[in-house]
Amino acid sequence: MFHGVSFSVEGGHALALRGPNGVGKSSLLRLIAGLVRMDAGTLELAGGAPDVPLGEQAHYLGHLDALKPSLSVIENLGFWATFLSGREAAREDLEAALDAVGIGDLASLPARYLSAGQRRRLALARLAAVRRPVWMLDEPTSALDADGQRLLFALVGAHLSCGGIVVVATHVDLPFATTVLALEAMR
Amino acid sequence: MTALKALFARELALAVRIGGGALMAVVFFLIVVTVIPFGVGPDLNVLARIGPAILWIGVLLANLLAIDRLFQADQEDGSLDLIVMSPVPLEMTVAVKALAYWMTTGLPLTLAAPLFGMMLNVPPQALGAICLTLLAGTPALTFIGTIGAALTVVLRRGGLLLAILVVPLMIPVLIFGISATTAVITGPTPFLTPFLILVALSLFSLVLGPLAAAAALRASLD
C-alpha cells in the first residue's frame, strides 16, 4: 500500500500529512495507530514506554466520533476517559475538558441531540480529558465552525508546548509550525 | 479493572435505555411461545410434551436476535477502533461485553421461561428444571454467539450469516438442555448427566468465546 514513506517527528512538533483524496492519509494514520498491521518497516516512539504498543500511547481521532446517542454528553466523555486511562475520571476534569471545547453547558444533554459540530467537539474533549503523548488527528477540523477550529488549535498548541507530538491529516492550513509529509499516488 | 467496570456499566445503560435491546428478546420469546399453541392445537398433553423443547428453541432464537449488534454498533460509530487501541486486553473487553449481553438478554429469558412454561402446560416439576438448565446453558449460547458477532462485524446484514455460522455450534447446548429437562418429566435418564455436560459446554465457551472473538475482531479490522 505504501512505498518509501519515512518521517520523524520530535516532541513539541507537528507533522501534517498532505495529499490528494484517496492517497492514503487516513490509512497511514491507522497504520501508525496499530489498527492496521504493518507488513514491513518499523515505527518507533523514542522515549516512550518500550513494551507498550504505540497505539496505547496515542489518541486517535478518526472520521467517526465514537459517541453513543442514548448516553449524555458527560457520560460519553466519562466512559472514554475511564476506559482509556484505567482510572475513574473526576467530574471536574470532565467538565474542564468540555469547557475547553466550548460545550460545557451541554453536559447532561443526550448525545443524540448534538449537531455534527458539537459531536466533533465532544470527540475532541476526549483528547483534553486523557493525557497521551501522541495525537493522531484525521481531518480534525471537519464540521467545526470558526470558533471550534480556534479551540482545536488552542488544544493542539497547548499539547505541543507540553512536548507532545501531533500527526494530523488535513487540507486546512494550520496556524502552527508543522513538518509536511506530502503523499503522492504511486504510478 | 476500573476500565472494565466502566465498560460493563456503559453496556448495561445502552441496553436498558431507549433504543437498547434488553426487552426485545423477551417480547420475541413471548411471541414464539404464544404462537406455537395456535399451530399445534389446544391438546394440553401434546403441549406438555413439547413444551420444554419450545421454550429452549425460543430462548435460542431470541438470544440470536440482537447479538449481531454486539460489536457492529461499536464498529459503525468508531468506538471499536478506540477499544482495540486501549490498554485493556481485547479478550477481556469481549468477555465483559458478552457478560453484559447475557445479563440483559439471557438472564431475563431464563427468568421468563418458567412463566411462559405455564402457558404451555409444562408440568410444575419441570419448570424448575427449565430455569436451571437455561441458567446453565444461556451463557454458552451468548458466548458462542459472540464468535459469530465478531466474525460478521464488518458485514452489513451479517445477522443471517451469523445464524448460519453459530447455530450448528449451539445444537449440542440445545440437545443437552432439553434432554436434562425431559429427564425430570419422563425419565428414564438421570437429570444430572446431561446437565453436567451442559455446564461443561458453558464453561468451555466461556473460555473459548472471548479468545476466538478477539482474534476475529483483530483480523477484521485489518
pLDDT in tens, A113-133: 999 999 999 999 999 898 888
Q: Do A88 and A82 contact (CB within 8 A), yes or no?
A: yes
Does residue B57 surpass a pLDDT of 90?
Answer: yes
Mutate to test the interface with B, among A51, A56, A68, A80 (most CBs of B within 10 A): A68
Among A37-51, A94-108, A147-161, B71-85, which is the least confidently predicted range? A37-51
Does residue A187 surpass a pLDDT of 70?
Answer: no
Q: Do B144 and B204 contact (CB within 8 A), yes or no?
A: no
Whether chain A has a CB inside 8 Å of the CB on B221: the answer is: yes
Residues 2-41 of chain B with CB under 8 A from chain A are: 2-3, 6-7, 10, 13-14, 17-20
Whether chain B has a CB inside 8 Å of the CB on A80: the answer is: yes
**All residues at 6 or more sequence positions from A174 whose CB lies less than 8 Å from its CB, including other chains:** A14, A16, A153, A168
User: CA-CA distance, B86 to B78, in Å (whole number)?
Assistant: 13
Whether chain A has a CB inside 8 Å of the CB on B156: the answer is: no
Whether the bond into B188 is cis, omega within 30 of 0: yes
Q: A58–B13: do the CB atoms touch at under 8 Å? A: no
Q: Do B148 and B166 contact (CB within 8 A), yes or no?
A: yes
Whether chain B has a CB inside 8 Å of the CB on A82: the answer is: yes
Which residues in chain A have their CB less than 8 angstroms from residue B77's CB? 64-68
**All residues at 6 or more sequence positions from B148 whose CB lies less than 8 Å from its CB, including other chains:** B67, B68, B161, B162, B163, B165, B166
Strand partners, A134: A58, A165
Global ipTM? 0.88
Distance from the Cα of B74 to chain A's closest Cα (Å) equals 8
Strand partners, A15: A167, A179
Distance from the Cα of A12 to chain B's closest Cα (Å) equals 23
pLDDT in tens, A48-102: 777 778 878 889 998 898 899 889 999 999 999 999 888 888 888 889 889 888 8
Which residues in chain A have their CB less than 8 angstroms from residue B88's CB? 83, 86
Alpha helix ranges (H) inside B17-158: 24-40, 44-64, 69-76, 79-85, 90-101, 107-119, 124-151
Domains of chain A as residue ranges with CATH: 14-182 (3.40.50.300)
Residue of A nearest to B1 (CA): A86
Identity (one letter) of the amino acid at B87?
Answer: P
Which residues in chain B have their CB less than 8 angstroms from residue A36's CB? 221-222
User: CA-CA distance, A18 to A173, in Å (whole number)?
Assistant: 10
Distance from the Cα of B81 to chain A's closest Cα (Å) equals 7
Whether chain A has a CB inside 8 Å of the CB on B107: the answer is: no
pLDDT > 70: what percent of chain A?
Answer: 99
Q: B82–A34: do the CB atoms touch at under 8 Å? A: no
pLDDT in tens, B94-130: 999 999 999 999 999 999 999 999 999 888 888 999 9
What pLDDT is recorded for position A77?
A: 92
Count of domains observed in chain B: 1
Q: A56–B87: do the CB atoms touch at under 8 Å? A: yes
**What global pTM score does this model have?**
0.90
Mutate to test the interface with B, among A35, A83, A94 (most CBs of B within 10 A): A83
Q: Which of A15, A10, A40, A14 is nearest to A183 (CA)?
A: A15
Q: Which of B76, B139, B78 is nearest to B107 (CA)?
A: B139
Structural domain harbouring B130: 2-221
Whether chain A has a CB inside 8 Å of the CB on B88: the answer is: yes
Distance from the Cα of B93 to chain A's closest Cα (Å) equals 10
Indicate the average pLDDT of chain B.
Answer: 90
Counting DSSP H helices and E strands in chain B, the numbers are: 10, 0
Does residue A32 surpass a pLDDT of 70?
Answer: yes
